[in-house]
Amino acid sequence: MDTTFWLDKWDRRETGFHETSPNPLLTENLSVLNLKPGASVFVPLCGKTLNIGWLRSQGYAVVGVELSPIAVLELFEDLHLTPHTTKVGALTCHAAPGLRIFEGNIFDLDADTLGKVAATWDRAALVALPKEVRARYAAHVTALTGDVPQLLVTLDYDQQQVSGPPFAVSGDEVKTLYGTAYRVSEVVSRPTSVKGKCPGTESLWHLSPVFGS
Ligand SMILES: C[S@@+](CC[C@H](N)C(=O)[O-])C[C@H]1O[C@@H](n2cnc3c(N)ncnc32)[C@H](O)[C@@H]1O
């Protein structure tokens, strides 16, 4: 799966992953992160998620990264914001008060460009990536953010029954990917249906840095 896969999804409006209201796992559990007012939250592979508007409405700043120019355009339209746009290396930065979205590939984003963030919200980002990319992604997000705390949503199910994305990611894999830098604890685990085809488990993980941050 390469970047063309996602750009084509947005072109064809195959965006079933997009939720029409802020995700309750975020709205009901953000307090776990103990963020200071005005703190910045990193939203990798953000699409045009309504969680960004919700985080801003709670007084937090948001920094996102997203491949698709369509998603970025519609994100700002939905928020009734006109971004100031600049080129930053291979990425394009779209900025408005309390919001910066880097349009491009997350692997082209570096820590200096991202700037300081206080936490990461990962929903449909890790699980959007095939197994062979997930270790690189997890290490990159950890390094980019300086291993700030994360709330991470995963989905686990029988990968033989349904093909991803979203891909099945087990608790053991979360611990393998993040267990060196983070203490990994499960906040919520609940049954779900994957594409209406197969039972699965959706989990919310709190990753808190082992070395403090
Ligand atoms: C399953 S969607 C989830 C979007 C969002 N997190 C949400 O909850 O609605 C995954 C998103 O990641 C974007 N994406 C995939 N690979 C990417 C990459 N390497 N860099 C930046 N964005 C990427 C896709 O364009 C897509 O919008």
* Cα 187 to middle of ligand 1, angstroms: 23
Share of the chain above pLDDT 70, in %: 99
Q: Is 154 in contact with 122 (CB distance < 8 Å)? A: no
Taking the CA of residue 47 as reference, the ligand 1 atom at the shortest distance is: 27
Domain boundaries along the sequence of the chain: 3-155
SS3 78: helix
**What CATH fold (topology level) applies to the domain 3-155?**
Rossmann fold (3.40.50)
Closest Cα partner for 152 from 114, 118, 124? Answer: 124
Give the position, in ligand 1's atom list, of the atom nearest the Cα of 137: 19
Distance 17 CA to ligand 1 centre (A): 9
Check pocket membership of 71 for ligand 1, CB cut-off 6 A.
yes
End-to-end CA distance of the chain: 34
Of 75, 72, 107, 74, nearest in space to 89 by CA:
107
Say whether 6 counts as a known binding-site residue: no
Which band of pLDDT confidence, cut at 50, 70 and 90, is reported for residue 212?
Answer: low
For residue 32, pLDDT beyond 90: yes
